[in-house]
Structures are given as C-alpha cells and as structure tokens.
C-alpha cells in the first residue's frame, strides 16, 4: 500500500470558502429547462409547472448560484420574448443549438424557480447580437423598483418587487468563431467596458464578469484576456474561465489528473490579469469566475452534431446527455478540490449544467429524476466545506501521465470553520490499482483533540458503473470506517480511483 501525508495548520489559510464556488448553470439548451426544471403535467409539478423532484435534488446538491440563460444560447436571445402572457410569446430559432425556443420559460418564471430552489441568479447578457441598450433594459426590468417603463412592465407581469440581481455576465464565449456575434478581443473589450460603465451609471452595487477564453486551448488564450482587460480592467470585477475534461484515446491516467490542468489554467488567467493590473498601475485585483466547468465528452458530441439533419428544428431535443461513471465522479471531486484551493481568486464557479445536459441531475419526461455519479462529490463538498480553506501540501508518490507528465497520486484540500472548530478534508487517490494510506497531522490546532464525525468514500470495483432511471443508486458514496484520529493524527485509507471526504469535530 502506498503512503502519503500532509500537515494542517489553521494559521496557513488560503481564503474564506466562497459559497458561490458551488454554482450551477441552466441554459435553454436541450432538455435542461423543458422536461428538466420545468414540466407542467408532471406528477410532481407545482402550480408554476416546476418539477418538485428536480427542485428537491437541486437543494440537496447545495447549489448556491445559477448562471442563466446561457451559454451560447444567450448570444442570440431576445429576453423580451420570455415575458408577458405565455400564449403571446413568439417561437424563435436558436442558432446556437439548432432548435426552436418556445419562450414558455422566461425571466419571471426562472426567477420564481430560483426563489424556490434558494439560489442566487448570475444573469448573462446578450453581447453577441445586442449590447449596451439591451443590458440597460434587462437590468431595469430586473432591478428598478417602479415608475420606469420596464419596472412597471415587470410589475404588470406579476413581480411587484425588483429581483435585485447583483452579478451579470457581459456576454458568453465571444472569442469563439462558433459564437453568434463572435468578436475580436478589441471589439469585445470595448463593448464590455461600455456596457459595464453604462450599468454602473444606474447601479453602483454590481459585480460584472468579462468574457475570458472559451478554453485554454484557444489560439488566442491569454492574449484575449490581456487585451480585454486592458480595455475594461477598472469597469469589471471578474474574468470568466471555461474548462471541460474528457478521457482522450483511452488515457485514463491523464483524465484522472485533469485537476492539474485546471490548476494551471486558473494560475495562467490570474497571472495574466495581474500583469495587466501592474501595467495599468491599478491596486484592484480581478477575480476569476469559472462559470463553466465539468466532465464533457466533447468528441462524442462533435460526431453527433455532424450527423444531425440541418433541416430539422426540434423543440428541447436530447443534447449531450452524458451518462457519468465512477471515474467521472472522482475527476469532478478533484476539480472541486482545485476550485477550493484557488479560493483567493476563484470566488464564483458554475458546473455546467444542472439537469440533463452534461448534468449531475437527470430526468425523464413524465418520469423519474435521479442523481448521476457526479452529483455526490458536489453535494458533500458543498455541505462540508465551511470557514477557511487551508493550504495543503501533500507529500507522497507520483505517477506518469502522457498529457501532464509526473503528477501526485494524492490530491487534497481542507477547510476549517473557526466558529464550530470543525475541519473537513477532501482527497482523491488517482492511482488505478493501488490504495493509499493518507496520514494528516493535526498538531497545529492548539493541541485540541478531534473525532471523526463522518467519512465518505466514492469508489467501485466497476469504474464504468453509472446511475440510471432503473438503478438510480447503483453508485453512491459509502460511509468509510477506514478514517480515525489517534494522538493528533488523522489516518484515511484511500482506495484506488476514489474520492473521499472526512469531517472532524473538535472535542
């Protein structure tokens, strides 16, 4: 059995845990909205047509913020289509996903859903086909109390009080040639700055996210961020980062180390932003919003997209409904570890997406909803991560990967809540055949003693196992009896290819 170790000390903190780290994403794409969160006539549907089974799972998952309404969808979206009497709303083509949008769900409906789910909304503005005026109009509809045209229209539509949204994305992936309204960095940077200044002229208490690169493999990566921020640095608060992972050519070893790439990606975005700040002699720090991330088999999606009939314009088709296995769940758990350890700069993140579309929750029309394997590490991490993120430096074995070279077998992060005294540890074992004994010294906590309150392990002998409508609980975390504290040392047995979480209580 392999061995690894690290020491925890409450004096070595990274930053407070940001609740916005546990965000999700609802896009008008595939079946995320229709038969996902919304299905009038479903046995669990409430008076507004929302599936209560999906709402319950969303709350159980611990989602804090949801980015809406896109995604690529937003770059051609006319938000006015989704307000007022449903019978009067137009059906539009969605060029992004080659489908028809009925607009049955719009701003008011989604805000009602968000209230029921208990989540904050991060609203994405259309800077693809629209711009400054659209941003001002939708902000007025959402946030102006009364008297103005759009405020009174909102009140007429049933929402007397303003929604009070604070976080707005200034467009989506406009560096990508696939994006409706694709722009150069200069074109986008100017538009983002102009839009941000206009919004701040009517509401000084906003948090604005500028569009970063669609992924780190883009030929313009880093150069895009640098030029956009040089134009918009003082006007925005965040730069976005999008990143997806999949096993390529059967390379499971590299796939299990995906968080190594996420670490590098985040560090590169931060370095670029700080370089611009230094050049501009600004004391301001730009934060990072990783508002799209997940495991996504993009190569499979690309093949299916090529086979699609260009003459067909379906409503809510099945699009990228990936089925996740045990290995995927371990990777997702590891990506959450990466996000937490960057909490000094990553203060918002959205797993894409919430339901059906590369999602932790799956549902069937007029049928059940269930938890995919990747649901579990998200839900447990969201529940247990409290207080301050602690700096962790594991010592232990490494292994070779084709994509990332030599990487650690064990990756981990920890949090400490000074108020309750609780400590939570999250760890993965990336090794495909060997278990690891992880030894964690707790001596930095003023000689306090700890006891294991709960310990969870997600693993399985069949790493291709997944959850389905027929077997919704085939893969679940199991309570681990292999975690114990003796004389100020926590020992955890980490099975091969596993994600693990332990909560300690001070005695």
Enumerate the active-site residues: 173, 292
DSSP string, 168-220: EE--S-TTSTTSTT---HHHHHHHHHHHHHHHHHH-SS-EEEE---S-TTSTT
Exposure b/e, 325-364, CB count within 10 A at least 16 = b: bbbbbbbbbbbbbbbbbbbbbbbbbbbbbbbbbbbbbbbe
Residues 44, 49: Cα–Cα separation, whole Å: 9
Cis bond upstream, residue 353 (ω within 30): yes
Residues 498, 433: Cα–Cα separation, whole Å: 11
In Å, the largest CA–CA distance within the chain is 70
Q: Are 497 and 460 spatial neighbours (Cβ–Cβ below 8 Å)? A: no
Strand order in the sheet with 489-494: 2-7, 436-441, 489-494, 483-486
Tokens of 239: 């730069």
3-class secondary-structure state, position 417: coil
Residue 141's CB: how many other CB atoms inside 10 A? 24
The residue behind tokens 């946030």 is: 143
Q: How many residues does the chain have?
A: 507
Residues 32, 44: Cα–Cα separation, whole Å: 17
Quote helix, strand, coil % in the chain, to nearest 5.
Answer: 30, 25, 45
Sign of torsion over alpha carbons 174, 179, 180, 181: positive
């Amino acid at each position: 059995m392999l061995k690894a170790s690290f020491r925890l000390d409450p004096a070595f903190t990274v930053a407070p845990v940001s609740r916005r780290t546990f965000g999700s994403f609802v896009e008008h794409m595939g079946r995320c909205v229709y038969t996902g969160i919304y299905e009038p006539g479903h046995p669990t549907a409430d008076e507004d047509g929302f599936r209560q089974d999906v709402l319950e799972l969303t709350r159980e998952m611990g989602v804090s913020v949801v980015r809406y309404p896109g995604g690529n969808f937003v770059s051609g979206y006319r938000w006015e289509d989704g307000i007022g009497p449903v019978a009067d709303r137009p059906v539009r083509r969605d060029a992004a996903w080659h489908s028809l949008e009925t607009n049955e769900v719009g701003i008011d409906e989604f805000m009602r859903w968000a209230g029921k789910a208990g989540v904050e909304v991060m609203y994405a503005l259309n800077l693809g086909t629209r711009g400054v005026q659209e941003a001002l109009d939708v902000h007025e509809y959402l946030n102006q109390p009364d008297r103005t045209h759009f405020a009174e229209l909102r009140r007429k539509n049933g929402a007397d009080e303003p929604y009070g949204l604070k976080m707005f994305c200034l467009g989506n992936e406009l560096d990508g040639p696939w994006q409706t309204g694709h722009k150069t960095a200069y074109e986008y940077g100017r538009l983002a700055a102009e839009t941000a200044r206009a919004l701040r002229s009517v509401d000084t208490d906003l948090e604005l996210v500028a569009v970063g690169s669609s992924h780190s493999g883009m030929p313009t990566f880093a150069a895009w961020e640098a030029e956009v921020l040089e134009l918009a640095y003082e006007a925005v608060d965040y730069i976005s980062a999008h990143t997806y992972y999949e096993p390529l050519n059967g390379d499971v070893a590299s796939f299990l180390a995906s968080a190594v790439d996420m670490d590098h990606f985040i560090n590169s975005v931060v370095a670029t932003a700080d370089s611009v700040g230094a050049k501009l002699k600004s004391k301001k720090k730009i934060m990072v919003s990783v508002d799209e991330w997940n495991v996504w088999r993009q190569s499979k999606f690309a093949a299916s997209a090529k086979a699609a009939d260009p003459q067909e314009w379906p409503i809510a088709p099945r699009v990228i409904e990936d089925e996740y296995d045990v290995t995927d769940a371990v990777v997702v758990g590891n990506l959450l570890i990466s996000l937490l350890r960057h909490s000094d700069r990553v203060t918002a993140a959205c797993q894409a997406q919430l339901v059906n579309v590369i999602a932790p929750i799956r549902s069937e029309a007029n049928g059940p909803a269930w938890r995919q394997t990747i649901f579990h590490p998200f839900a447990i991490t969201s529940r247990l991560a409290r207080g301050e993120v602690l700096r962790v430096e594991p010592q232990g074995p490494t292994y070779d990967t084709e994509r990332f070279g030599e990487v650690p077998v064990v990756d981990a992060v920890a949090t400490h809540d000074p108020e309750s005294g609780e400590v939570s540890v999250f760890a993965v074992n990336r090794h495909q055949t060997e278990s690891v004994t992880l030894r964690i010294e707790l001596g930095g906590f003023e000689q306090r003693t700890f006891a294991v309150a709960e310990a969870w392990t997600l693993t399985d002998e069949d790493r291709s196992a997944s959850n389905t409508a027929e077997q919704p609980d085939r893969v679940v975390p199991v309570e681990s009896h292999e975690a114990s504290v003796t004389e100020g040392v926590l020992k955890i047995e980490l099975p091969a290819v596993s994600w693990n979480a332990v909560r300690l209580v001070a005695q």
